[in-house]
A and B are shown apart, each in its own frame.
Chain A
Amino acid sequence: MTWAWDYIFKPTGKFENGVKMFLIQTKKLVHYFAIILLTSFLVSMLSIQEADASEDNKTSVESVEILKRDLLDLNKELFILEEELLFPANTQVAIFISQDSGNTFKMDHAKVLLNNKAVNYHLYTENELDALSRGAVHRIHTINLNQGDHKLVIIFGGFGPMGREYKLAAELDFKKSTGTQFIELRILANSKSQQPEFEFNVWN
């Protein structure tokens, strides 16, 4: 390829000839650019088509897997949205129950009272009790509370070691500060008295 400036500054040629040749070469250059542009456009079109084809060529197993992942992402988004709308971080208080009471207490139900007002009642299934016995934690209630002092009472119903019916209550006075607050009530076993014990943990 001969460049335009070779003609302009050609030591042997005249200036007019140089200009003429420059114009000719400019035309040639425009053609080259047009060809390059066209080629690159075609290449990009082909690559897009290839991408589409690879999408189509995915096996149904892969497609279903991608679909499931998208669905999970969607669910996650909705979950976060729901939580943000219903329980803003600065007012949210979540109450959890965990159990490590062995055979001393088999929980049947739990009732949550906040500031002397019943807010939730939960009847435990066998699956839930099994999960709790394996170390899981149950979020029994989530609520929005103003900053300040509050009173939480949880009343449990269940059965003791000899199948005796139990009704127990745990009480906590707590201060709601700014930010999300987690309150955990752990039901523990007192091996001496063979009675369940309660322990509150509060996290901010």
Chain B
Amino acid sequence: MINISKFINSCAYWHPYKQDSSSSIFFLIPESRIFRLLTFSFAKKMLPHYFLAIILTFCPIISLSYAATESAYTNNSEVKQFLIYKLFNKLNNKSDIQDKKNVTENIFRTNIEQSHIVNNMAYGELLFYYYQNKPIKSLIHLMTSDQRHRFQQHSDHAEVLKGSLYLSMGMTEHAKFFFNKTAKTSLNPETRNKAWIALAGLAYRQKNYQQTKYILTNKIEALNKSDFSIKQMNQIHEYLGLIYLREGSYQNAIIELEYIYNDPLKQRYALYNIALAHFNLSHLDEAIFYLQFLLDLPTYNAEDDAIRDKAASALGQFYLYENNHFLSRQSYREVRLNSAFANEALLGLGWANLKGADPSQALSPWLELLERDQSQKAVQEAFLLTARAYEELNAYQDALGAYITASKTYENQINNIIKAHDFVNQDEWLKHLKLISSDSNDFLSIYSYIDSPSMPLDGPEASYLYQIYSTNNFNTEFQQFWQLQHIEVYLNELKAKLPVYGTMVENQSIKNRNFKFKFDKKLDSINLNEFSNRHDAISRQARLTLKDDFLLIATTEEQNRLDKFKAIEKKLSQLPETKDFDGIKSRFRIVRGTFLWNIKHDSYRRSYSLKKQLQQSQDELIELESLVNKLKHTNINDLTKLTDHRLQIGAIELEIDHLIHRIQKLKNDQYFDLQELASSVLNQRLTHTSNLLARTQIAIARLQDKAASEGRK
């Protein structure tokens, strides 16, 4: 077996100078691509080019050369046929794809249906912001509603959302806490699984691969296939595949990566990684087949093209290593001239030509490289290689000219690096990268742009600056600096808005004071005791009356009749006690008796009605009393609340000042870190270019010596 150092050494053997590590082949990690593309946008012109280079090149895990063996390369057509069958079954089987498409649609539909069962306005409103990618608004809404216990049956989902929102804000520790909580407490196995997958993703990002593997293999609960989305399944297999690759468990990695389906982009990355796993297992036929298969796949976007270029470059490098110069040339030619790997491919193509054919053929790709950005390592190396090729062709005059040109180029580049270094060491360096907010309420949805005449955009040093900006380390550090800057802008805006809150409180206070006078007067005028006393007196009298004489509840008409009866009775009593009048008197008694009996009969109903009315008026009195008390109490509460609000505004202002102070301190620390980082990158480039210059000058001296010894000019 040949190890990586031997492979690089062998490259160095072919190459007169140290091989650039970026041209070796690495596994691809797709998950980081979007993150970087979204968060690093200030180098408008050149960064897309660098991004792809970073994504595909600066995510190294294991080199291809681990796999390269000297003896295992055999042409096995059966293997090829089997793989073709397998891949075509996997990728091109229409019915299969159709089925999976149906599954996706069903899952999508199910998701929509499920998400529509939102009977909680607070949760629905949270989703409104969440689906629009407004993390701050979502989180504030979530925290407020949570404090007021408004989520009810959606509290589990809200916890998962909280975790992912914290994650999207880069608050990994908080996110971890909430995912853990949900994973352990949720009653729904699907929700638990979601939380575990999120935790695994977090562990993976933090390079805690054992933890990721443990979660994915032990914690994910076995559910029906339809309970997982395809995206989740693919994510699990991808994480496991990449971890197995890191561990050197290539067979397992292949098995996991082969599970990825119905996601063309993820599948492309998986195919590339499967190829490299096969290289590591010395299955060269399969490895080559997978890489070749990637080359044959049609591409639909820039990322597809970049993966294809990387595969072509890897294949070219492998063939070059195998001394199969013809196939190496063929593979390198598949790399697009405007791609992120074009420089390395041109350099490799030159080498393949130099080793496999006439050295003069090496000149054409290298001369093409000389026309490119001279700050690029591959281009700088091409300057030296061109001169070397002339030398090999015995064109010493041209070789000397090329060496002198290379020397001048290196000197210029050293000057440019020094200029870039001076720029980086300026106090106001990072302040040239200005920021603009798309939404002042959301300090994360801010776009950056370069808007300063002091910022070199097209100058010779600009290229080096862009290269610094596109490094992983700088990118990560700058993101934090960037966020701090946004937070500071946001806090200053918030501080400027605070007087508005003060005015709101004052207005409310004035309104309350004006209202209070009328309010108190009105409240004072309500004499509840008087009402109560009168009511008591009436009800007491009524009760006594009802008890003693039912005639008192007779109607006015009845009272009139009763009066008439009394008058008649009086007159009848004045009549003599004779038989003639006895009949009249007897009739009168019967009529009066009947009348009184009628009144007595109605009196029960009437007394019940009276009692009811009395009770109602008593209830109304009690209600009035409670309302008056409540109003008095509310009034006091409001006044207290306004004082509280005033105090709260004061406390918030102090807190803002404190936060701004902390931000400035953190920003200063970050600033120095970034400056140091940029300096170290530039120093590395300076050393590299200086070495090239030294080698060029030695070569010039050697040629001059040779010319002198041979008596030539």
Contacts and interface: CB of A to CB of B under 8 A. Distances in A.
B70 to A, nearest CB: 46
A202 to B, nearest CB: 11
B183 interface: no
A69 to B, nearest CB: 7
A135 B143 contact: no
Interface stretch (B277-285, B292-300, B500-508): B500-508
Nearest to A74: B655
Contact of B652 (A60, A68, A78): A78
Nearest to A73: B143
17 contacts: A60-B666, A62-B173, A65-B173, A67-B663, A68-B170, A72-B136, A76-B140, A79-B141, A85-B504, A94-B121, A98-B124, A133-B112, A134-B127, A135-B112, A136-B131, A138-B128, A203-B121
Nearest to B112: A134
Given A65-B172, A69-B171, 9 more contacts: A63-B662, A68-B171, A70-B659, A75-B140, A79-B144, A127-B131, A128-B132, A131-B127, A134-B115
A197 interface: no
Interface in B103-152: 111-112, 114-118, 121, 124-125, 127-133, 136, 139-141, 143-144, 147
A64 B115 CA distance: 34
B128 A84 contact: no
Q: In terms of DSSP, what is the predominant structure of the interface of chain B? A: helix
Nearest to A99: B116
Max chain B Cβ within 10 angstroms of own Cβ: one of A72, A77, A184? A72
Contacts of A30: none
Given A60-B670, A74-B659, A96-B125, A135 B501 contact: no
Interface string B142-171: 011001000000000000000000000111
Interface in A121-145: 127-128, 130-139
Contacts of B487: 67-68, 71
Instruction: Give the interface size class of chain B.
Output: 35 or more
B124 A136 contact: yes
B128 A128 contact: yes
A100 interface: yes
Interface string A38-56: 0000000000000000000
B645 A84 contact: yes
Nearest to A203: B121
A182 B480 contact: no
A80 interface: yes
A66 to B, nearest CB: 9
Interface string A150-164: 000000000000000
B537 to A, nearest CB: 33
Nearest to A127: B132
B646 to A, nearest CB: 11
A93 B281 CA distance: 68
A36 interface: no
Contacts of B169: 68
Interface in A148-204: 182, 184, 203
Interface string A95-131: 0101010000000000000000000000000011011
A182 B118 CA distance: 14
A34 interface: no
Contacts of A65: 170-174
B188 interface: no
A131 B171 contact: no
Contacts of B659: 67, 70-71, 74
Return the 10 tightest CB-CB contacts between A and B, nearest first.
A137-B124, A135-B115, A131-B131, A136-B127, A136-B128, A127-B132, A135-B116, A76-B143, A75-B140, A65-B171
A110 B173 CA distance: 41
A64 B486 CA distance: 12
A84 B637 CA distance: 13
B494 interface: yes
Interface string B643-673: 0010011001001100100110010011001
Contacts of A60: 480, 666, 669-670, 673
Contacts of B484: 64, 67
B112 A82 contact: no
A31 to B, nearest CB: 44
Contacts of B129: 131
A1 interface: no
B235 interface: no
B455 to A, nearest CB: 25
B131 A71 contact: no
Contacts of B656: 74
Contacts of B118: 98, 135-137
A76 B651 CA distance: 14
Contact of A64 (B483, B491, B649): B483
A69 B144 contact: no
Contacts of B128: 128, 131-132, 136-139
A81 interface: yes
B641 A137 contact: no
B687 to A, nearest CB: 28
Given A78-B494, A100-B116, A67 B666 contact: yes
B661 to A, nearest CB: 11
Interface string B220-234: 000000000000000
Contacts of A138: 125, 128
A127 B141 CA distance: 18
B307 to A, nearest CB: 29
Given A67-B666, A137-B127, A81 B140 contact: no
B504 A131 contact: no
Q: A62, A76, A96 — which one has the most chain B CB atoms within 10 A of its CB? A: A76
A139 B125 contact: yes
A63 B484 CA distance: 11
Contacts of A63: 662, 666
B636 to A, nearest CB: 15
Interface string B33-57: 0000000000000000000000000
A79 B145 CA distance: 11
Contact of B131 (A69, A74, A134): A134
Nearest to A135: B115
